[in-house]
A and B are shown apart, each in its own frame.
Chain A
Amino acid sequence: MASLSVSRYATLWLLIAQVMVALPVLGVLPVPVLPLLLCTVIWRALIWFGRGAWPSDFIRRLLVALSLVLIVTSSGLQLSLELAVAFLVTGYALKMLEMKTRRDALVIAYIGFFVVGAGVIYSQSLLQALYQLLCVGLLVTAIHAMYAPAYGSSLTSGIKGSLRFTGIVMLQALPLTLALFIFVPRLGPLWAVPWPEGEAQTGLSDTMQPGDVARLSQSYELAFRAQFTGPVPPARERYWRTLVLDQYDGEQWRQSDLVRLLSQFPGEIADERDWQSKSPVIDGWWQVQPGQYNYEILLEPSGRQWLPVLGMAAASVPKTTVLRTLRLESDKPVFERRLYQPARQIVVAQTIAMPSWLLALNKSLPANGNVQSRLLAQQLFAESGRDPVTMARLLMDYFNQEPFYYTLSPPLMGQNGVDQFLFEHRSGFCEHYASSFVFMMRSVGIPARIVTGYLGGEYLPEEQVVRVLQRDAHAWAEIWVNGQGWMRFDPTAAVAPERIDLGIDDMIERGGLLQGQIPLAYRFGQVGFFKSVRQGWERLEYRWQKSVVQYQQEKQHSFMSQLFGTSSFYWQQMAVLGGLLALLLILFGIFALYQRPVPNPHQKLWLRLERKLLNKGFERRAGEGPKDFALRVNAENAAIGAQLLPIVDLYIQSAYSGRVGEDKPLPDQLSKMIRQL
């Protein structure tokens, strides 16, 4: 039917919407599919311009088969999110080539909403959200265009009309959207697509080889944001402690795990709690004191379990564990942005000694290698009078006075890496300094370990937010001092104090650490006006993440607890459901009032009659007139019919003949007869 085909105008909107909607997810599609999608869009555009023909059935099937083959060959048959999205987007594009009726067009528009939704999986930033809002607007406009009779006098006025309509509709949808956002319970996913291994893991890893942190320093990705209330520590104090690496095999630092400990130190560990405890304070090793800084962290998904904390972790937060190395670990890998608030406490070691197995672990080194370094360490140790702190200071002085350089692109080092670094190249990144520092400490029997994490981060004063990028990754050292516990030493500070004071950006500006490798956009973002614009945007983004994206189960629960005064999930949901139902009823009521004509006296009477007959099992069909109905009842049940026929006759007389008077009161007789029926 001509009127149910899709107008050129609507098709134009659909095409624009389609391109816009598909753009953000193109990045996750298999590359070979992209030309195919481009071709379909161009083909459809050609049809729109009247220069192309609709593809035949055969070609359509061929296209479907081709895209299937392309997708499966390039991403495999294993069920994954990417595969699903690829199918969705490809289907979305191909469907345009057989869009002939309005029904097809509607299907395409609805798939469009779905694709917009799929985009959320990959990014939840403010920018993305605004873009998706635009896409939704386009789709709504396209649907409106399908039903618009024509675009009126001119294209521009048509577009204006469509856009105005879209604006109104979206504004109308706003209250409902807000209500749904606030009240609909956040349920876990009903099914999960396996998260691809490796790809998802960003940031620090739980092993460290020279070069790891340096590589990370080239990543401009956001690691996390910290929101402070109250004082904010200066950049040089912002050591975001994340991982503790205490085992060294000559090349790689790693985190010792329980199994290895048990095999190495049998009998020493009474139970698991000794190693990993919900509250280290119980063990009496540490005492906690109120800390100065109050903050919460919004961690970007890392695919790993570590959680950065300023200084040492004290008490655990929900769904985490404090490990014996005083770092915080999430119970599950962080695959979604996570908000947590570390306890406002600092940990102070009490004057007790470490158990011997832990001491031994933190002193252990490979039996041989790096002879020169060991010798140097012996020498310094002797100079220090066998005092660990003095020894550490001497070592720092050594780094400071000898010609050491701080560089992001250090030469590769093989066996005896520490020797090579200390005596040959003398240039390296923080992990080289930390690593050789800990090596030398251990070689003279001082317990020492490497801590990796982030240092500094950009402070946005108006929001009291510190943004930490992956490139702020850092490595430093901790040594055990009897009576004082673990003390932090950052050998990088001795070599390149600017790194500590000013952060990595200024290092790059001054020293030209990484020439030609910094993205232009990033450099722009560091200059004057652009910097303030960027920071303003980042503040907005932070607010968006914190108040909208992070409005998840727990926040919702606490909000609703406040609102309804009950913390029971079920009562809250009952309240929401009740509210929604009431709202619906009110809306329906208003709608019905406006829609339904007020029945006149005749109709009221007739309705009464109908109800009465319904009780007796006779229901009038919608299209049945009074006489037909009465005759039918009579045919089915003569007894009732005998009573009914005169009533209906009288009714017809009074309602239709015009003799009784339509607005005059009905004959009392009629209502009496109905009552008696």
Chain B
Amino acid sequence: MNSTLQNSLDALSGVIRGKDRELRLALCCMLARGHLLIDDLPGMGKTALALSLARLLGLEYQRIQFTSDLLPTDILGVSIFDRASSEFQFKPGPVFSQLLLADEINRASPRTQSALLEAMEERQVTVEGQGRSLPEPFVVIATQNPLTQQGTFPLPESQMDRFLMCIPMGYPDTDSEKAILRGEAGRFLVSQLDQSVTPEAFLLMQQEVNTVHASDLLLDYVLRLLKATREEGYFAVGLSPRAGLALLQAARAWAYIDGRDYLIPEDIQAVFVPVANHRLTKQGISPGELLGRVNAMV
């Protein structure tokens, strides 16, 4: 186990109780240079998670609350005429940060959503014809209310693909919830977290993740999985090659947190559901069930 990261995770679980797996997935997602979509009801600790991660990694943090009247300029920034210098001066929007929490992203209109999503993909924004690159690392944690709620604009499948992972937070278990109620855990603790990794070190880690070795045997397993999503008739549309790359990258980060420099099938299985869940149209079985049907070894 990578000790630095393990310490960070331990610290995190002091704030957000009983969500070790989700925390690790979130960290894993950031290590893999991916963006994270958290899909759950309000009040489950989504904001607390984003805040703690920012604090822990010492990242510059911004938050946008998405509403239906939010405009792209509210995210990207706008040029304002400065009397003194008689020039237009660019006022960067909240997107120019290292960790951006896009809260309730599905409440904004598609036009605003796509402004953010472009930034996520390109890691730069174009304002008034001028490209401006975003700081490094750049991570978006978006939260989304389940689509059954009123007044939401569901993200199109193609844009869901921009997120490396989609995880539900889920209710805490009884013990953890009791701790929260007792005041032993919660958002108020965020300010007490110590920064354990510098942004520079985190960038280095991101690069190291790329070097995690994937053997032929393991690639065969990934291919079997991808093939099963496409051919067995379980899903309407299977995973794309980009999804395959994302799966591998996420698994690398997972193995890296484990302190390994090579992948084993368990890494793939650990990240498969969060990576595949929002990219597959569910039909016969869930992605989790698919894992049980595809032979991991031979």
Contacts and interface: CB of A to CB of B under 8 A. Distances in A.
Given A621-B292, A662-B216, 9 more contacts: A600-B216, A607-B298, A610-B297, A626-B264, A626-B265, A656-B263, A657-B213, A657-B262, A658-B215
Interface in A614-660: 620-628, 652, 655-659
Contacts of A652: 264
A606 interface: yes
B215 A606 contact: no
B266 A656 contact: no
Contacts of A547: none
Contact of A625 (B216, B236, B262, B296): B296
B217 interface: yes
A603 interface: yes
A628 B292 contact: no
A147 to B, nearest CB: 11
Interface residues of B, number: 24
B213 A658 contact: yes
A657 B263 CA distance: 7
A2 interface: yes
Given A603-B297, A603-B298, A607-B298, A625 B217 contact: no
Nearest to B255: A656
Given A1-B236, A1-B283, A658 B262 contact: yes
Interface in A387-415: none
Interface residues of A, number: 27
B215 A657 contact: yes
A194 interface: no
Given A3-B236, A628-B266, A622 B296 contact: yes
Nearest to B221: A625
A295 to B, nearest CB: 60
Interface in B125-160: none
Nearest to A624: B296
15 contacts: A3-B236, A602-B217, A603-B298, A620-B297, A623-B295, A624-B296, A626-B266, A628-B269, A652-B264, A655-B217, A656-B217, A656-B262, A656-B264, A657-B262, A658-B215
Max chain A CB contacts within 10 Å: which of B265, B291, B297?
Answer: B297
Nearest to A1: B236
A650 to B, nearest CB: 13
A290 interface: no
Nearest to B294: A623
Contacts of A599: 298
A597 B220 CA distance: 10
A656 B236 CA distance: 32
B217 A622 contact: no
Nearest to A602: B217
Contacts of B291: 623
Nearest to B261: A657
B69 to A, nearest CB: 34
A2 to B, nearest CB: 7
Nearest to B283: A1
A2 B281 CA distance: 12
A165 B215 CA distance: 40
A627 B293 contact: no
Contacts of A658: 213, 215, 262
B222 to A, nearest CB: 12
B218 interface: yes
B236 A622 contact: no
Given A623-B291, A625-B266, A626-B265, A656 B215 contact: yes
Contacts of A603: 217, 297-298
A620 B298 CA distance: 11
B293 A2 contact: no
A648 B106 CA distance: 46
B264 A625 contact: yes
A655 B220 CA distance: 12
Nearest to A606: B297
Contacts of B263: 656
Interface string B264-292: 11100100000000000101000000011
Given A1-B283, A627-B266, A655 B295 contact: no
Given A599-B298, A652-B264, A657-B261, A623 B215 contact: no
Given A627-B264, A656-B264, A622 B294 contact: yes
Contacts of B216: 600, 662
B258 to A, nearest CB: 10
A672 B188 CA distance: 57
